[in-house]
Copies of this chain bind each other. A is one copy, B any other.
């Protein structure tokens, strides 16, 4: 971790043309020679050779583990080669996920070491197809799911990792759908075996997975959804289908659930880890299923917080079979990032989700759309839990005037950065930022929200405005 904290935008403005090294390619193999490439990409051979040479594209690159500024916008040169079974996608919109935040801090082992392009999902248009690809053609609008490497204008992925975008779905929705909905779907319907009349606890109910899970719960008759979120988000999540919204910042969610459902719950989705997993286990009914899918409690501050990590490890839930037997309980772990070998299973889930979309039963909710240059701010908003729904990045170039506005803000941001650093150092000392019930800290996130307001208003993306409440 470097101590240097230059703002991402500033750096990008200064050096947009630096060439990338082959090691920064997100694909598994280094680019082939030009002749080999031409052979591997018949669709591309019809294009002019000079373009091949001058082909450039912008890519976000994680340059090292650390704060929000560690993800930098760079320009890559040379058209990526296509192997058999692969397609080249012109990326329109990328989705942001919690795993990306973990990855930036060096807490997610599915991302190769920096420098590397992060990004697990995107939407775009197929621009070239490799040999042996029969079910995708140039011009297909697709959404893409990959282990990493999708936060760039051009991505090469196996065709099996792409899904056709149905009519009526925007690129924004398509980029917001794969990770959150497949995660929520497999947790609820594969591990959870959700059935009518059951009860489900959804933590972070205003987050991407939370909203997807709530919508999916509502596709089953008479399911009761308990959703945790800060009070300001309660109206939104209630409208989204949450039956009982619980403000985890001011109330003990276990007590609140017990008041309404004394016997406990059928399914608990746990993205928090640590001590919250213990609480979840005790809150299960007989035949109840606890599905843990993250360790958000590990994220405290923008850089890896060793105390938070250690605490999470210390409190990590461990269960003996005898306890499971006597309680008639189930504990499941889920992470889509570790499921990338199971494309058949994922495709099956995706097909069901797309059917539900076509029936109007699920619909991704976009919190806000950001330019690639703004990825740091987007990550910050997500980590500070100020979003309601999905944060997405558009590859559309930032208008010049907006860039100037951003540049002006840099000075202000410099101040903010320093403040952040101070705050982070403080967090390192006490590691308590993410402790939900710590009332003394309740005011802090509100201050953050206010600071973000002006930025939001400067955004020109209509989609984002429509989606925001």
The residues of A with any CB-CB pair to B shorter than 8 Å are: 186, 190-191, 193, 273, 277, 286-287, 289, 292-295, 316-335, 338-339, 341-342, 345
Contacts and interface: CB of A to CB of B under 8 A. Distances in A.
A52 to B, nearest CB: 39
A330 B191 contact: yes
A292 B190 contact: no
Scoring A289, A319, A330, A341 by chain B CB atoms within 10 A of each residue's CB, the highest score goes to A330
A311 to B, nearest CB: 14
Contact of A273 (B190, B321, B333): B321
A286 B341 contact: yes
Task: In the A-B complex, list the 5 residue pairs whose CB atoms are closest, starting with the nearest.
Answer: A324-B333, A325-B333, A330-B332, A193-B193, A317-B321
Contacts of A324: 292, 331-333
Contact of A186 (B277, B287, B335): B287
Contacts of A293: 325
B331 A190 contact: no
A338 B286 contact: yes
A415 to B, nearest CB: 38
A339 B327 CA distance: 8
A339 B277 contact: no
A333 B338 contact: no
B325 A329 contact: no
Given A191-B330, A286-B339, A326-B333, 7 more contacts: A190-B287, A286-B342, A287-B342, A318-B319, A322-B333, A324-B332, A326-B338
A333 B186 CA distance: 20
Nearest to A313: B322
Nearest to A323: B333
Nearest to A330: B332
A321 B287 CA distance: 19
27 contacts: A190-B193, A190-B287, A193-B193, A286-B338, A286-B339, A287-B342, A289-B330, A292-B324, A292-B325, A294-B325, A295-B322, A316-B321, A317-B320, A317-B321, A318-B318, A318-B321, A319-B331, A322-B333, A324-B331, A326-B333, A326-B338, A327-B338, A328-B333, A328-B338, A329-B332, A331-B331, A331-B332
A328 B321 contact: no
Given A191-B287, A342-B286, A328 B334 contact: yes
Nearest to A294: B325
Contacts of A329: 332-333
A401 B12 CA distance: 99
A111 to B, nearest CB: 14
A314 to B, nearest CB: 12
A321 B322 CA distance: 16
A119 to B, nearest CB: 21
A375 B331 CA distance: 38
A384 to B, nearest CB: 24
A333 B342 contact: no
A78 to B, nearest CB: 35
Nearest to A319: B319
Nearest to A329: B333
Contact of A325 (B319, B328, B335): B335
A328 B339 contact: yes
Contacts of A345: 286-287
A334 B325 contact: yes
A133 to B, nearest CB: 25
Contacts of A191: 193, 287, 289, 330
A277 B193 contact: no
B321 A333 contact: yes
A284 to B, nearest CB: 11
A346 B106 CA distance: 47
A341 B263 CA distance: 11
